[in-house]
Structures are given as structure tokens and as C-alpha cells.
Amino acid sequence: ILFLLLLPCSSYSTLLGWVESPGYPMGYLPHTSLNWTRCAPKGQTVSIKLIHMDLENSQDCENDAVKISSNGNLIALLCGKRDYEELQESVNPLLFSSAGGCLTLLFHSDYSNTKRHTGFRGFYTLQDFNECEDEQINKCTQFCHNFVGGYYCSCRHGYHLDEDKHTCTVGCAEDLSGLKRGDVSSPSWPGEYAENVNCKYTLSVEDNLQLELHFSEGFDVEQSPEGNCVDELRIETHSETLGPFCGNKPPHSPLLTHSSHIQIHFTSDGSGTNKGFNIHFKTRGNVCRPVTSNSNTTPLKQEYHWGESVTVTCDLGYVASDGLLKRYDTTCQSNGLWAPMYPCEIVDCGWPDLGRGGILQLVNPDDQNTKYGSQIQFYCTSKFYKLEGNDTSTCNADGEWTGMPKCNEVCGMPETSSTGRILGGKAALLGEIPWQLFITTPKFGGASLINDQWAVTAAHVVNDIPKESVQLYGGLIDATTTGTDVSPIPIEKIIVHPSYRGASLQTNYDNDIALIKFTSRVKLGPNLLPICLPEVNRGVMEGEQGTVSGWGAIFQDNSWSRTSDVLQYVDIPVFPVSKCRNTPSLSNKAMTFTNNMFCAGGKGTDSCKGDSGSPFVSPMLSSGIGPHYLIGIVSWGSPCVRGGATGDKKGYYTKVENYVNWINEIKKNEAQS
């Protein structure tokens, strides 16, 4: 049986009544349950006082039990028989909700009882919660007063409640603008200052004057044993904040503020017995201080008067006026300020240019600083590139990164190789000659990759041909895959050596060299790697063994009759210059030999028609020694049909070392354009 009694009481209602087990006092039946909840308004609690309890007893109250909780938190688990005194002393004091919370009682009985138990009965009521006794709720700094449903704070004489309605403080904000002389002190000076103060004093005079502060003896502002300010005094001017000040030593007196308008702030916490401070203020004529922030002033004086000019020089690594000035002149004004005034700020180099392709990258870019003196570290993202220079760069005083490294292509080092010297030529393995490029149209020939955006070939292969007509391929050995499995490399421009006069008469192939620039960087890999350029004036030595490669004509069916489907290469020696000067006749016309050429070959081994533009590299591939260098470009030679497979062969090659400077100059100019 549940009773609910509502009684009027001013502007709120009282909640009270009985809660008891089903069937009380005749006893409860098996499988009986009760779910009871009452909630209190703000500032009050719901409590239960049990006057009777007779339930089946069991371990941990597993059979029959009463569970009482406050806002879901269990506060009592009861079973068995309890007398009235035990309930009053040890149980009832626990049975109340939190302020403004809910109290829930759950009762259940199991399937059987050895005897019939009478159950329980309790009286619930609404009670006021005394917030003043709860330190977690009561935030009053001085007096707390409880009332039904809440509490309020009050203060001692001389204090007032702050806006938070809990903190007691004193009124100490004062505007003393216009006064040229006077005193400012902490509340109750020279007695102990109040707790929880937040004072602000405003002083303001004419612009041509500055305020001068004199501290009285007895300065005493609370300080921690470690030297930190518990309470603090701060002085704010138009350009800076002086302080905080605390302890027993006042600031140097007199304190020149170099300002005609200041605010004095004083704050204290809720404890302490310190006296505070007293400041006598007066005015004097304005002077300018030296400009010292990240700069030096010439001439240097302790103070400057109106009309005096100085030169401000920013410290090393600092610049003024958006980075345009390292030095400027300025004049002291009547208000104690310099004009013009440009703060010297630290140089910022910004993020370095990492170039295209994303190969050069920063180590831990999120942790890098780009200001003067900072260092950043780089790495190359691909194993087919190596870092040139130091991996670390420094931001210098001119706002530039010093020693910026580059990621240069690893050249002349194929990952695939074969062993043994094959005099008569051999089909290449994929990746064995990764710098070899293939030109299919409009002329048949070869080229060499020298970095990820440039190739070099013979001028007569690409001369007077629109770049759109040239089909260039890389990363292959099987010529039959072009246009199907392998796509051509897009070409941006073709640059023929300016001294090449063309070979229309087929008598002079001097300066037979041209550069091909790609539209974008190719992705290097095991099957596509550049060849190294030789040093200038390295010299091509008589008898030097090298490797020439290409898809040109091969000896088949007892004649040189067709081009090869698979890339071929052969190791051949360089001939003496005297033998090279004994040039063959082509189309019954005498050929010209110059210092820009060398010749090489052997019995049945040589480059042939269709190999033009292909590389001659040294050391030879079969030596297993690297890196390999491009020392020659297939240019011209004796007809392949002469001598069959065993006749003496002599091919002529453009001497690349004579054109390294030209190649580098072209690449540099293109990079800057």
C-alpha cells in the first residue's frame, strides 16, 4: 500500500508518504517485485526511514532483497531481519538522494520461502539540503546562508559580492586621469590588504608628459617560497607590461614608464596577511628610450629628447618593414615615441623550393622551423636518386637556405647484368642497358637517357623533324612492344647543336649531337635509368674497350639485312686516331674526320644502320665495373654489308666529352626559363 500526501507550503510542495513491500504486513508472496522512485526539486533531497524489515536472509542477498540507489548509484543492499534500533543507527542515515536527485527502491522475492516473511515498511519525506555544509557546492569565500532549496553568500563589512555571487571583494577601481601628482595604494594600506581583490587604477596625462612612479617603503606583496607571485602588481603602458612585482623588494624607484597613459593592476588570492604597496606618481617631460628590440641604436644614449634622430640597425638575422629594411633613421617625438618605427623581426626563409616531382623531401616537415638560424633536413624518396651535398640546410640572415641539396639521378649503374665478353654481339636482358632509348619514327635510331627529363641522340636522327613526329620509347628491349605495351615519352622540345650543318651531302657529321627534353619527368626504375656524362677532356684512349648497343641491322642469313627486334650490344675497342683519319667513302664521297669524333670497331663487330644516336659507354658492360659513362654517340661508319660478319668494321662516334659544357648550359637555361 502506497500513500502520497501533498501539502501546500508557500511556493513549493512537500513530498512524503509510506513505501512498503507488497502484502505488508501479512507477508509477501514468491515472485513479487516493486519498483519505486521519487525525485527531489533543486536544493532538496528525498530520504527514507525504514521502521520494519523482515526478509528471507541469504548470502549477498541473492534470494529476497531491497536495493536502494541514488541517481543509479547503489547505496544499500538489504535482506534478512533488522530490528528498529539497527535500522535507525546503521541503515537509515544512508538512505537519501543527492540534492535535486532521485531515490529508487527495488524489491524482489525469489520462487520460494521456507516461511512467510512480513516484508518491510518505510516512511519517505522531502528534506532541505544544507549546501553550506558541502564544500564541493558551497563556494562562498566568507559567509554562507542556507535556505529551503538553496543558499546565498554574504560578506564582511567593507566587502561586496563580485559578479559570480560567491567571491567577496572590495571596490578598488579608480580613474585618476588628469591628475599630475598623487598616490595609489593597495586597499587598507598600510594595513593588510583584502582577499580576492582585483584593482585597476587608471592614470592619464598630456601626450608630451610621462608618468614617473615612486614606491614607498614597506612594499609587501605575497610571494611563494619558490619565488613565484601569489598576489601580483602589474603596470601596463602603451607598449609593454611591467611586472608582475611581488615579495618585499619594490621595482627600481623612480620607475619611468615612458608613457602618458598607464593602468596599475593589483590582484590577490583568498589568503595571506600582507600589507601591499603605496605608489606616489608625478610627471616629467617625455623622453624616448633607445630602440633595443632586436636592434641597436646609433648614437646610443640612455634617453633622447624631442627632435633627436638616431639610426636603428636590426640585429643579424632580423629585418624591418616587411623584410625590406635592415637599417632606418627615426626621430624622437614629443609623446616619447619614435617615428617612423619599424619593429625588427626575425628573418623567415619560408619553405624551401623542393623542385618538381616530389623526389626531394623534408625529414619530419611538421617539426621544422623556417626562421633565421633554423636547420632543416632532406632526403630523396627514391633509391634511384642520391643526395648531392649535405642533407641539412640552414636559414641565413638574407632569408635564403644555404647549401640546398639536390636529388640527382643515380647514373650508369644497371641493376641487371650479364657476365663474360661476347665479341660478336648479344641480345640484352631487360634492365641491362636501362639508359638505352628507342626512336621508331620518322627515322629509326637510338638515344640515351641522361637524367629524368633529358635524352641525347645524334643530330642527324632528329634534325629538321617536328617534335610531334618523333616517337621515343624507354624501359624496353623488345622493339615489337612499342605503341602497344609501352607508350611513347611525350617530348617538349628538340635542341640540335647550333654548329651542326646537316649531313645532306653525307660528307661531314661534325657536331652530330642533339638534346631531347621531355614534357615531364619520367619515373626512374630498374629498367629506366640514366647514363653518366663523362668529365670534360677525359680523353678517349686508343684500345679503350666500350659497349655499343642498339636495334640496328644485324647479320642474318649471311648478310646485313634487317633491324633487330631485341636490343643488341657488343664490346668493341677504340681505334687509333691514325686509323680513324683513313675514312671510308660513303656514296663515293670523301668523309670528314674531326676532333669531335672517334672511331671503334672490330672484325664482325660494330654499330650499324638503325643504331644512329645510340650510346657507346665505358667501361664495357661485361667488365662488371661501374658506373658507366657515355663517351660516344653512334654517328656514321662504313657500310655494314662490306666484309660480312668477319670483315673489319669501323664506326664513327660523336665524342661526348666535347659537349658536356653545352649540355649542362642548355639544361641550366631551360630550368630557369
Q: Which residue has the cell 664490346?
A: 571
Q: What is the CATH number of domain 426-661?
A: 2.40.10.10
Taking alpha carbons only, the member of 396, 391, 420, 386 closest to residue 348 is 396
Residue count (the chain): 673
Local confidence band at 662 (pLDDT 50, 70, 90 cut-offs): very high
The share of the chain scoring above pLDDT 90, in percent, equals 62
Q: Does residue 552 contact residue 565 with C-beta atoms inside 8 Å?
A: no
Q: What is the pLDDT of residues 216-258, one digit of tens each?
A: 999 999 999 999 999 999 999 988 899 999 999 888 888 988 8
pLDDT of residue 328: 94
More confident residue, 422 or 402: 402
Q: Where in the chain is the domain with CATH 2.60.120.290?
A: 5-129, 170-285
Q: Rounded to whole angstroms, how far apart are CA atoms 672 and 355?
A: 12
pLDDT of residue 640: 57
Per-residue pLDDT, averaged over 440-447, amounts to 89
In the predicted structure, residue 422 carries a pLDDT above the cut 60: no
Per-residue pLDDT, averaged over 113-133, amounts to 89
Q: Is 112 annotated as a binding residue?
A: yes
Q: Does residue 69 contact residue 75 with C-beta atoms inside 8 Å?
A: yes
Could you write out the DSSP letters of every residue in 323-376?
A: TTBSEEEEEE-TTS-EES----EE-B--S----GGG-EEESSGGG---BTT-EE
Q: Is 110 annotated as a binding residue?
A: yes
Taking alpha carbons only, the member of 169, 233, 172, 232 closest to residue 201 is 172
C-alpha cell at 120: 518491510
pLDDT of residue 587: 66
Q: Rounded to whole angstroms, how far apart are CA atoms 49 and 82?
A: 13
In the predicted structure, residue 5 carries a pLDDT above the cut 80: no
Local confidence band at 134 (pLDDT 50, 70, 90 cut-offs): confident
Q: Which residue has the cell 541503515?
A: 91
Q: Where in the chain is the domain with CATH 2.10.70.10?
A: 295-346, 356-408
Domain 356-408 belongs to what topology?
Complement Module; domain 1 (2.10.70)
Mean predicted lDDT score pLDDT of the chain: 87
Active-site hit among 52, 460, 497, 628? 460
Q: Is 128 annotated as a binding residue?
A: yes
Tell me which DSSP letter residue 276 carries. B
Q: What is the pLDDT of residues 167-179, one digit of tens each?
A: 888 878 899 999 9
Q: Which element (helix H / strand E) includes 445?
A: strand 445-451
pLDDT of residue 608: 67
Strand partners, 563: 553
First to last CA, the chain: 97
Local confidence band at 648 (pLDDT 50, 70, 90 cut-offs): low
pTM of the model: 0.57
More confident residue, 633 or 149: 633
Q: Is 635 annotated as a binding residue?
A: no
In the predicted structure, residue 508 carries a pLDDT above the cut 70: yes
Q: What is the pLDDT of residues 280-339, one digit of tens each?
A: 999 988 888 888 789 999 999 988 999 999 999 999 999 998 778 899 999 998 888 899
Q: Rounded to whole angstroms, how far apart are CA atoms 434 and 429?
A: 10
Q: Does residue 181 contact residue 283 with C-beta atoms inside 8 Å?
A: yes
Q: Where in the chain is the domain with CATH 2.10.25.10?
A: 133-168
pLDDT of residue 606: 54
Active-site hit among 512, 571, 606, 611? 512
Q: Which option is the CATH number for 170-285: 2.60.120.290, 3.30.420.10, 3.40.50.11540, 3.30.530.20? A: 2.60.120.290
Q: Rounded to whole angstroms, how far apart are CA atoms 657 and 671?
A: 22
Q: Is 559 annotated as a binding residue?
A: no
Q: Is 222 annotated as a binding residue?
A: yes
Active site residue 612: yes
pLDDT of residue 646: 47
Q: What is the pLDDT of residues 450-496, one digit of tens each?
A: 999 999 999 999 998 999 999 999 999 998 887 677 889 999 999 99
Q: Is 146 annotated as a binding residue?
A: yes
Q: Does residue 605 contact residue 572 with C-beta atoms inside 8 Å?
A: yes
Active site residue 512: yes
Q: Does residue 384 contact residue 410 with C-beta atoms inside 8 Å?
A: yes
pLDDT of residue 558: 44
Q: Does residue 109 contact residue 28 with C-beta atoms inside 8 Å?
A: yes
In the predicted structure, residue 642 carries a pLDDT above the cut 80: no
Class at the top of the CATH hierarchy for domain 133-168: mainly beta
- The architecture of the domain spanning 5-129 is Sandwich (2.60)
Q: Does residue 553 contact residue 610 with C-beta atoms inside 8 Å?
A: yes
pLDDT of residue 59: 92
Q: Pick the range with the lowest mean pLDDT from 89-103, 132-146, 268-282.
A: 132-146
Residue 578, judged by CB atoms within 10 A of its CB (0-12, 13-18, 19+), counts as exposed
Q: Rounded to whole angstroms, how far apart are CA atoms 497 and 503?
A: 13
Q: Which option is the CATH number for 295-346: 2.10.70.10, 3.40.50.20, 3.20.20.70, 3.40.190.80? A: 2.10.70.10
In the predicted structure, residue 123 carries a pLDDT above the cut 70: yes
In the predicted structure, residue 402 carries a pLDDT above the cut 70: yes
Q: Which element (helix H / strand E) includes 664?
A: helix 660-672
Q: What is the pLDDT of residues 553-603, one digit of tens each?
A: 654 444 444 467 899 999 999 999 999 998 877 666 778 899 999 999 987
Q: What is the pLDDT of residues 337-386, one digit of tens each?
A: 899 999 999 999 999 988 877 889 999 888 889 999 999 999 999 999 99
Local confidence band at 13 (pLDDT 50, 70, 90 cut-offs): very low
Taking alpha carbons only, the member of 598, 582, 588, 579 closest to residue 636 is 598
Could you write out the DSSP letters of every residue in 36-95?
A: EEEEPPTTEEEEEEEEEEE----GGG-SSEEEEEETTEEEEEE-SEE-HHHIIIIIGGG-
Active site residue 157: no
Look at phi and psi of residue 172 and say left if phi exceeds 0, alpha if psi is from -120 to 50, else beta. Answer: alpha
Number of other CB atoms surrounding residue 51 within 10 Å? 14
Q: Which element (helix H / strand E) includes 666?
A: helix 660-672
pLDDT of residue 167: 85
Q: Is 398 annotated as a binding residue?
A: no
Q: Rounded to whole angstroms, how far apart are CA atoms 268 and 222?
A: 8
The one-letter amino acid code at 614 reads: S
In the predicted structure, residue 7 carries a pLDDT above the cut 60: no
Active-site hit among 186, 549, 612, 635? 612
Number of other CB atoms surrounding residue 495 within 10 Å? 19
